[in-house]
Structure 1
Amino acid sequence: MLNDKAVPRPEYPRPQMVRDRWMNLNGEWEFEMDHGKSGRARKLHAADRLAGKIIVPFCPESSLSGVEYKDFMASVWYRREFHVPAEWQGQRVLLHFGAVDYEAEVWINGVSAGRHQGGYSPFWIDITDLLVAGDNTVTVCAEDDIRSGLQSRGKQSAQYHSHQCDYTRTTGIWQTVWLECVPRHYISGLKYIPDPDNRCLHIEGSLIGEADGFVFSAEATFGSKNAGNGRAVVTGQKVELTLSLAEIHLWEPGVPNLYDLEVRLYHGNECVDKVSSYFGLRSVKWNDRAILINGKPIFQRLILDQGFYPDGIYTAPSDAALKNDIEISIGLGFNGARLHQKIFEPRFLYWADKLGYLVWGEHGSRGLDITSPMGLERMLPEWMEIVERDFNSPALIGWCPFNETWDVKAGPSRIAQDDEVLRIVYHVTKAIDRTRPVIDASGNYHVITDIFDIHDYEQDVEKFSARYEPMKTGGEVFNTFPDRQKYEGQPYFLSEYGGIWWNPEQKDDKSWGYGDRPKSEEEFIARYKGLTDCLLDNPRICAFCYTQLYDVEQEVNGLYTYDRKSKFDPEIIRKINSRTAAIEKESSR
């Protein structure tokens, strides 16, 4: 890698597809706001300089960016120079963006190189033919309008101020920008389908260039020991290979066994491309009671993780900060998280894979109007890119494209969701990924779903418990919206509960949480234990997700503060969460 160690977020941004020749473009860029969206008319894409400076990959709303501008920005511009190493000549050069919110256009040396729509998914552009000898210039324009109803905004506030459970916005570049040198014929994508029952890994490879007749090879190792080798001839630009494994080491929560994988592309006897990767061997299945991991019902003790940071907003200040969020969650007795209303960066999934931590992939669908097919047009292409990006993570246990699809108020009436939007997104997700369960819309309103989940923020332990008591003996299943959704015998998941408001150190009158505030730490713990015990003791409930891991701005129902300081003795919470669940007791008999 060619990289200045002083640049922020210097680590390799795509851990499951690593090449040696790359250059990190994070650091200082020129920057300019364009509130009137007149930059193209003013030819900013060809300008010699922009008015200000910014530190990429941090959004201009963040303190780490050096800008810290909190108001709406309709359009922003970025510019920097870079030099392509001489040894890259004769190869292809790809320009990668981890994420740009929301609609981006990229120019190289004043010439438009490509566009991308979607604030959460990555994109890359082959810029080889636009490069010149010596210094080159990349310019980016990002347009963002979270109030339009035509884009997914997640938990970014559509009001000037943050309020309740909506927080500071993110505009423009918010993940690593980097260059990659690739050969004329190269591996552009890898898809892994683990198959522990048949002691193998199925690999689907995509290639760029006329590679018909090339040979694709894969070698797996576990530790320092060879675990399997395979080769297959490429047909067109696709290849499929089943890699038999000599040793079986299953990936499970808390047992993060990972195989290393090296993939090569040969033309005759010449290796023209090489990629380093890894995979986990595990299966995910489900029946009417539970989600099975490697054939075993493992109660999913999940925490809601919003993916916000006080100084970086959407962007973690460091790779260590991503790892730390998982470690503090595990320390509280959770075995996974709902990655809520945001697509987390690949480095987070890397640490989840390495630490044996379950995650649910969820789009930042909040703000998108799905009362008509227009929502599908805007959301589906981005969602497909996301599913493809994260497919290979063993930690990722299920998909959830939408959350709480409330009706849209238009004047005196309300317009209901277009059920076909949810149905189509569900079926497309299943077509791309047949290995994981899909929740169509977490909480409400279900149309077609593999897992039936609800949200319940009742704070009274007795009332809360009474709702789920009949389920223990096969009685009526509690349904929050029986007039809009129907339970059809799926595994039952309480995917949001708790949210207990606790902020003795925060006196701000804008603080927000669910229900009434406990009067003491002892009252908080008693409520937390009562709510959680109810779910662990119910053999018809297979998973819970507590709201939430840490406070975010004015929302103060975290078990940690926003700056990641523990509010309670983590051991007390860990003991409550770690009790054997009823569904696990039944399976051990």
Structure 2
Amino acid sequence: MLSCIAYTLLLAGTAQAALLPRQSNSTGYSVKTPPLDTPWTYKVGTNPWPEYPRPLLERSQWQNLNGVWRHQNESSLDALNSPPFNQTLQNAVLVPSCLESGLSGVQGEYMLYSWYSTSFRVPSDWSGDKVLLNFGAVDYEATVYVNGQKAGFNRGGYFAFTLDITSLLSSGTNELLVFAHDPTDSDPYVIPIGKQTLRPSHIFYRPCSGIWQSVWIESAPSNYITELNLNADMDGKVSGTISTSANASTSVEISVTPQGDAGSGSTHQVSTGDFSFTVDSPQLWSPDSPTLYDITIKLGQDEVKSYTGFRTVSRGVIDGVERPLLNGEFIFFMGTLDQGYWPDGLYTPPNYEAMTYDLKTLKQIGYNGLRKHIKVETDLFYKACDEMGLLLIQDMPSLRPLQDRTLSNCTVETIVPDASQQAEFQRQLEVLIKQHRNYPSIIAWVIYNEGWGQITDPYYPEFGLTDLVRELDPTRLIDATTGWYDHGAGDFSDNHHYANPQCGAPFYSIQSSPYDPSRIGIQGEFGGIGHNVSIEHLWNVQEAIDTINQTYEIDTTLAAWNYRGHLLLSELEDQTKMYACSGGIWTQTTDVEGEVNGMLTYDRRFLRPDLKQWNADISALYDAAASRSNSSVKLF
């Protein structure tokens, strides 16, 4: 075990949040003490995440169902045969939260099968309207009942779904019952799980089961907007698709207004289905100027609000080098690998302030983006990136990463998906694209990370999946395989190497691939240098502490950590000047469990970078890229 005592004096001057009393109330809910807390752990209360959860399709009449529900664990799927209607379940639970988290009030293990229950009343002024029940995300399968009748089913732990429950409602109190099944990486399941595992170890973490994003109801007329696909480009063209519950062509009014300038908008008449129109001389969205426009859409009696940013993502050739382009100009991407884990909430941040703290910290250090690593966040996360001007590379959550199984004949095989599991992975990839393609901050999609769940024998599915993603969203770039098994698909030649970079350069390691000059060269992961801290900043689980020395590199002092960071960023700067490097992704935003290589510690109380040094080093990267951008661009 690596001792942490040596760093107590080093961190003695760091402000520590007081350990506040646990919350409790008449519902029986209280925070379970997590292995590590954050400054926000005991500020969450019993009405978490009050913000409207879906900013790209917002309705005025809504009711938040977050709060204290009831929960009980079950032993198998057989529990679905006997739903506990009109019963009081065993435990209080905070929704939304991961059942394995301290904030849930449960902090359980092996939460594979669970019942949830709550009750709600529909406002009287919604009479005559449709009532829609919305879930931000339930991991992994959700079976939903309202007043003893099945309302619907959803599969996929990262994605939103909506159920029309109008015909199931009563005039008084309504019972909502949800069964959540989350197998994670138990056999025989091969499903998208990212870094979740039932057996945490170093870079694989405690899982998140159940209702982990917001739940709400809303009112809509009989013919309402069900889906909005909207893109606004640098030339002012606004195009997309509007889908409705009636599934028939109907006139729609769309108003587009710069945020903060209500008097200068424009209104356009279109029809449902595919549409396009042009806004004159729009202010463009970029990291330096993240201008957004409010959108109001009226379809008969249905009115929804949304927003967009005018920008174009493409690729082109500058001085013979393939480059990523934003609004027709080469922009160097410099971000962190962002896991999105919290010691108190796991997948669910304690609150909006906590979630945006990470993003503000990245901007403060000098980063212009992040790679959302094999996790999908709440819609409010992407809105915050849009508002702050953070470029975002979005991963598809991986299937069973780096796992083997032993067969009856004692041979060992790597777990890869069979045909049906691969088809389900593809279906969920489609859902990811459709639900997130409206966010201006997202500039690229990642299909596979480091071969995790990737079939690496011909037929090479990333080629077909790249075509699929391109068809669903032709407005962004595609990183088909970030690291390891690159067969030539997608827009990026993406190298992973720790600790030093190998970006668009004439050298590479055995676990990545040589630079392919026909595509954009980026450093999809590098850095990862670790700096251990005193126990009050560590995930206090012995198995995790025992893996700290598995970190790619351990620097025994903070000064050495910053020095090593300077050297590695200088290497990336050289490769940008000399070769074909177009971006880098530093591992990582925060520590997570047994990993101690974050900009921030896992509790978000200690910031490692010397800000003056890191600001200068990252600015030098942008300057190096700018020095390679003076020639005319040949578009791809």
- Scaled by the length of structure 1, the TM-score of the pair is 0.89
Which residue is equivalent to 1:258?
292
* Secondary structure at the counterpart of residue 533 of structure 1: helix
Which residue is equivalent to 2:83?
43
Q: Distance in 1 between matches of 2:202 and 2:350?
A: 24
Q: Distance in 1 between matches of 2:493 and 2:421?
A: 23
Task: Give 1:146-165 correspondences, 5 Å limit.
Answer: 146-147=184-185, 148=187, 149-159=189-199, 162-165=200-203
Q: CA 1:164/1:209 → structure 2, altered by over 3 Å: closer, same or farther?
A: same
* Secondary structure at the counterpart of residue 477 of structure 2: coil
Shift of 1:417: 5.3
Q: Distance in 2 between matches of 1:152 and 1:432?
A: 20
Contact preservation (8 Å) 2:253, 2:299: yes
* Superposed CA RMSD: 2.2
Matched, 1:320 2:362: no
Q: CA 1:113/1:556 → structure 2, altered by over 3 Å: closer, same or farther?
A: same
* Secondary structure at the counterpart of residue 360 of structure 2: helix
Contact preservation (8 Å) 1:371, 1:417: no
How many pairs are equivalent? 553
Which residue is equivalent to 1:425?
465
Give a deviation string over 1:523-565, Cα, whole Å, max 9, x none: 2222211111121232400000000011011111111101112
Which residue is equivalent to 1:203?
240
Contact preservation (8 Å) 1:105, 1:140: yes
Which residue is equivalent to 1:454?
495
Matched, 1:345 2:344: no
Q: Distance in 1 between matches of 2:560 and 2:521?
A: 28
Contact preservation (8 Å) 1:372, 1:417: no
* Secondary structure at the counterpart of residue 312 of structure 1: coil
Matched, 1:356 2:389: yes
Contact preservation (8 Å) 2:237, 2:276: no
Q: Distance in 2 between matches of 1:425 and 1:512?
A: 37
Q: Distance in 2 between matches of 1:486 and 1:356?
A: 29
Matched, 1:221 2:257: yes
Q: Distance in 1 between matches of 2:553 and 2:58?
A: 49
Q: Distance in 1 between matches of 2:612 and 2:339?
A: 23
List structure 1 segments (4+ residues) > 6 angstroms apart after TM superposition. Answer: none
Q: CA 1:406/1:346 → structure 2, altered by over 3 Å: closer, same or farther?
A: closer
Give a deviation string over 1:498-525, Cα, whole Å, max 9, x none: 1001113248444255333223323222
Contact preservation (8 Å) 2:508, 2:514: no
Which residue is equivalent to 1:25?
65
Which residue is equivalent to 1:412?
none
**Stretch of structure 1 that moved more, 26-35 or 374-383:** 374-383
Q: 1:499 aligns with which of 525, 528, 531?
A: 528
Give a deviation string over 1:47-102, Cα, whole Å, max 9, x none: 42212110100111111111111x21221110111111111111111111100000
Matched, 1:551 2:591: yes
Q: Distance in 1 between matches of 2:280 and 2:268?
A: 12
Task: Give 1:148-547 correspondences, 5 Å limit.
Answer: 148=187, 149-159=189-199, 162-197=200-235, 199-209=236-246, 211-212=248-249, 214-222=250-258, 223-234=261-272, 238-242=273-277, 244-266=278-300, 272-287=301-316, 288-367=321-400, 369-406=415-452, 416=456, 419-447=459-487, 448-458=489-499, 476=506, 478=508, 480=510, 487=516, 489-506=518-535, 508-539=545-576, 540-547=580-587
Shift of 1:478: 3.2
Shift of 1:188: 1.2
**Residue identity matched to 1:487:** D
Shift of 1:458: 3.5
* Secondary structure at the counterpart of residue 104 of structure 1: strand
Which residue is equivalent to 1:126?
164
Q: Which runs of 5+ in 1 are unaligned?
A: 267-271, 409-414
**Residue identity matched to 1:297:** F
**Residue identity matched to 1:337:** L
**Residue identity matched to 2:602:** Y
* Secondary structure at the counterpart of residue 519 of structure 2: coil
**Residue identity matched to 1:168:** R
**Residue identity matched to 2:145:** W
* Secondary structure at the counterpart of residue 154 of structure 2: strand
**Residue identity matched to 2:522:** F
Which residue is equivalent to 1:411?
none
**Stretch of structure 1 that moved more, 493-502 or 571-580:** 571-580
Give a deviation string over 1:7-34, Cα, whole Å, max 9, x none: 1101000111111011111001110101
Contact preservation (8 Å) 2:142, 2:153: yes
Shift of 1:42: 3.2
Contact preservation (8 Å) 1:150, 1:375: yes
Q: CA 1:513/1:572 → structure 2, altered by over 3 Å: closer, same or farther?
A: farther
Shift of 1:219: 0.9
Q: 2:97 aligns with which of 24, 45, 58?
A: 58
Q: Distance in 2 between matches of 1:39 and 1:208?
A: 33
Q: Distance in 2 between matches of 1:210 and 1:294?
A: 35
Contact preservation (8 Å) 2:399, 2:452: no
Q: CA 1:64/1:407 → structure 2, altered by over 3 Å: closer, same or farther?
A: closer
Give a deviation string over 1:402-424, Cα, whole Å, max 9, x none: 2111589xxxxxx8456443222
Contact preservation (8 Å) 2:399, 2:453: no
Matched, 1:12 2:52: yes
Shift of 1:299: 0.6
Q: 1:108 aligns with which of 146, 151, 163?
A: 146
**Residue identity matched to 1:363:** M
Q: Distance in 2 between matches of 1:407 and 1:56?
A: 31
**Residue identity matched to 1:538:** Q
Q: Distance in 2 between matches of 1:387 and 1:153?
A: 17
Q: Distance in 1 between matches of 2:378 and 2:610?
A: 30
Q: Distance in 1 between matches of 2:53 and 2:549?
A: 35
- Scaled by the length of structure 2, the TM-score of the pair is 0.83
State the identity %.
31
Contact preservation (8 Å) 1:15, 1:347: yes
Give a deviation string over 1:277-304, Cα, whole Å, max 9, x none: 1100000011342110001111101111
**Residue identity matched to 2:516:** Y
Q: Distance in 1 between matches of 2:525 and 2:511?
A: 15
Identify which of structures 1 and 2 has the higher relative contact order when contacts are C-alpha pairs closer than 8 Å and 6+ apart.
2
Q: CA 1:563/1:492 → structure 2, altered by over 3 Å: closer, same or farther?
A: same
* Secondary structure at the counterpart of residue 503 of structure 1: coil
